Structures are given as C-alpha cells and as structure tokens.
Structure 1
C-alpha cells in the first residue's frame, strides 16, 4: 500500500499537480513506516508550490532518515536561495561537494550562489570545475542569470568559448 500510494503521489508531482499530491499525502502519512517517503514527497510538492520555508522544515526531519544526502543538500540549498539565505545555500553546497567531490551539479550550484554573494574568484573556480566534471554544464553558462556578476571576467568568457 505504501509503494502504490507513493507512486500515485509521484505521478501527480510529475504531472505538475503539486496541490493534488499534497491532498493525497495525508493518506501516505497515515500508513505505518511511510513517514520518510511521505516527507520526501511533501518536500517535492512544497518546493513545486513555492512554499520553501515549509519545505525546509520537512527537510530537517528528512535528515533523520537514511536518504540521499546529496538530494537533501541540493533541495535545501534551492529553498534557502529562494528565501534569501545565500549563506545557508552556500553552506549546503559546500557540504555536498566536501562529501561528493565529483558532483558537477554541486560545484555548479555552489558557483552560482557564490557569484550571487559577489565571491567572483571562488564562483569561477567552482563553475569551471563543474564544467570540467560534466561538459554539458557549459551550455548553461550563457543563460544562467545567477552568474551575471562573472560575465565581465575574461576567464568566464574563455570558459564560455571553450
């Protein structure tokens, strides 16, 4: 019953129906042993609805369960950026890349958050590392608004052109 209900809720989330997923979540929370899955799905729904503070509350509890810490740090950083807690977002990404050195998305997001904080040199280092780990990130450089403060740097332009 837990797996079937969780799959239904995931389906609603995949369809972009986060409000409907939230309604279905109460049934999942009621099932024995389903709390970890229910929390993760509720975080996804809350993020989709833009309720980042509520998602952060659930993420605190998610860390008590054996769940993907990279997903948790990425999601927490995403939420923290959107509530104007850039130091918290940076801390999440620093934790992620310290644990998972080869995480291109971790390095890229850390670079974005550092750029928003005006830490251009570190930001450029992180974004460069991300592009080295996964060249597909180069395609995002031109359009990523978080990196606006780096556009005037010759090193950034060289990264764009490489």
Structure 2
C-alpha cells in the first residue's frame, strides 16, 4: 500500500478524500435502493443528504487527518464506493465500507479495511477498530470476519424504524462498556 497526501493506493483501488466533484456519484451510490436493501430508511433521497454525509467525513479529515475515502478503481477511475476509518467519540475507529452493487463480492471491502487499519494506526492512536452492521447484512458480516474482526456485541439497533433489527459490533479487541454504549445507542 502506498500513501500520499492526495491518495492511498491499494492493489486495485485509489482511495482519496471526498471532493465536490465526487458528490453526484456519491449521491447516486447512496440513493441506490439496492445499496440500502438492509436499511431502506437510510437511503438518500436528496442531494443534501449526501452533502451532509460528505461534510461530516470532511470534518473528520480536518480534525483527525484521516476519515472516509472515495474508492475508485485505479485502472478505470470508476467509483467502487466509499470506506475508511472514522473516529467515534475519541474512543474507537469505525471502519466503514459502502460499495456499489457492481463491486460486491470482489474483495474491495478487504482492501478498504486493510487501508483503514493502516491509516488509523498511522495516526498514533491505539484505539479499537469497530465494524457496526445489521445482522441480516450477510456481505458486511463476511467482510468484517474476513478482516479478522470478532463479534463483540449483538443487540437491538437503536433508532432503526424496524423494531426487530439487530445490530452487530465486530472489533479487533474487546470493547470497554463506554465504547460499546457509543456504538450501541
């Protein structure tokens, strides 16, 4: 993996800080019903929803020097998705990955998680890496396990309009009660 101020390169991906130019494609990704089949209520219906998300990630970049990247196929420049480490409450790195359906099952999440692990470590903050996902999202669950993360918590998904939804937390180490509450509430 190579890093520069502008981008991180994995075997097949160029991971870069989001820009205004990325917004239309990122909105299309986040508005795609297939991407949100596990949580339809989170689907972006307005460009403002995506802008708010990107602004949150850009704020993380400003404060922490790293946050979620735009992931593009290095060979073609095509959008693969978004992903990376986002600091949560100063207690843990939330490892995020949201991929376009055309990129599912191709190992891209593993490249993003490996880069996120390296980027989080490079900050000098020895904090847990956590993947928070819905139990019925088999693809995300497989990706978390393949990344070497272990299931550390299972419980209700607070705030989900589906009262039967179950949230899973995978992590690279046991989590403190405070960190569990941060992710589980």
Q: TM-score by structure 2 length?
A: 0.32
Determine which structure has greater relative contact order: mean sequence separation of CA pairs < 8 Å that are 6+ residues apart, divided by chain length: 2
Judging by fraction of residues, say which structure has more helix.
Answer: 1
Judging by fraction of residues, say which structure has more strand.
Answer: 2
